[in-house]
Amino acid sequence: MDTVSNKWGIPEVLGLFELPFSDLIYRAQCVHREHFDPNGIQLSTLVSIKTGGCSEDCGYCSQSARHETAVENQPMLSLEEVLAAAKAARDNGASRFCMGAAWRGPKQKDLDAVTEMVRAVRELGLETCATLGMLKEGQAEQLKEAGLDYYNHNIDTSRRHYEEIISTRDYGDRLDTLSKVRRAGINVCCGAIVGMGETREMRAELIAELANQFPQPESVPINNLVQVEGTPLYGTDPLDHLEFVRTIAAARITMPKSFVRLSAGRQQMSESTQALCFLAGANSIFYGEKLLTTGNPEVERDRALLDKLGMHAM
């Protein structure tokens, strides 16, 4: 994708959030129509290939070994299991298949297994994406050689709020992995989670951080916190849904050529809220019954909503 040269200051992004709602949505929709089919939605399916037992302490995560949740540790899926899931995703209309693993970062034997999965999934005609945690030197190059199209590594929240959410890695660790992915020539999928107790100004800081990456991320997943009992963030006051829509709009305006993905939290949103997110510039969704360990609207429900809105898969 083309690079974007302008820098977004936090006050400027905050100014977007503070626009009258109709003005913000109009501006976001105009930007969206300049770069994308306004009625096209990119469908991705996310599968957990290794669940639970992560050594990190991310306050939102049900898979942390430090939190007492209902998620049980599971070994890595076999190649056959992953291919079966990928074929089902393709047959249901998904164009991208994302593989997620609950690690701080992959060991070499783990990476060997994942690269085999990447090669096999690409042979099915699907775009491939992986989210495997922090990468060591040379690992991004191995994923690139296997044909990985996208690597997901979210910055999660703003710099100021980060230490309230995670202590086992710092913001620089996140940016270091993103740098490794870029140098290897892999597309970047980088977004965040909102609704974790941050202020509007922190959300503006977060969007500015994403928008000022150079080049900007090709995909930007925006997650609304799914609260899981047993995690430190369980019981956090939920984010107002219109504020979430504002966040989507700010992401679209500041990152005009990125796919903005409506990600976790959709199951808790009404059809009207999701429609507003699409109007605000979201043009990608995770599609299927589960996102790693949390629920997601069923395929048939999603198809019905897209049909109702006159939208189609890209």
Kindly give the residue spans of alpha helices, DSSP state H, lying in the chain: 10-17, 21-35, 79-91, 108-122, 139-146, 159-165, 171-183, 200-211, 241-254, 271-279, 299-309
Burial, 20: exposed, middle or buried (Cβ in 10 Å; 0-12, 13-18, 19+)? Answer: exposed
> Which pLDDT score, from 0 to 100, does residue 69 have?
67
Given the DSSP bridges, would you call strands 192-194 and 259-262 parallel, antiparallel or unpaired? unpaired
d(CA 132, CA 115) in angstroms, rounded, equals 12
Which residue is associated with the tokens 């296997």? 146
**Following CA atoms 171, 174, 178, 179 in sequence, which dihedral angle do they give, to the nearest 10 degrees?**
60
Name the phi and psi angles at 290, rounded to 5. Answer: -150, 145
What are the DSSP calls for 48-116, one per residue? EEE-S-BS---TT-TTBTTS--SPPP-PPPPHHHHHHHHHHHHHTT-SEEEEEE--SS--HHHHHHHHH
pLDDT for residue 99:
93
Measured CA to CA, the distance from residue 43 to residue 89 in angstroms comes to 9
Which pLDDT score is estimated for 66?
A: 64
Residue 149 CB contacts under 8 Å (≥ 6 apart), including other chains:
96, 122, 127, 128, 129, 186, 187
Homologous superfamily assigned to 13-313: Aldolase class I (3.20.20.70)
pLDDT (0 to 100) of residue 230: 84
Low-confidence stretches of the chain (pLDDT beneath 70): 1-6, 52-53, 55, 62-72, 288-297
Count the Cβ atoms, other than its own, within 10 Å of residue 143: 25
Tell me which residues are annotated as active site. Answer: 54, 58, 61, 98, 129, 189, 261
Indicate the domain borders of the chain: 13-313
Query: Any residues with CB less than 8 A from the CB of 172 and at least 6 apart, and which?
Result: none
Q: What CA–CA distance (Å, rounded) separates 59 from 66?
A: 10
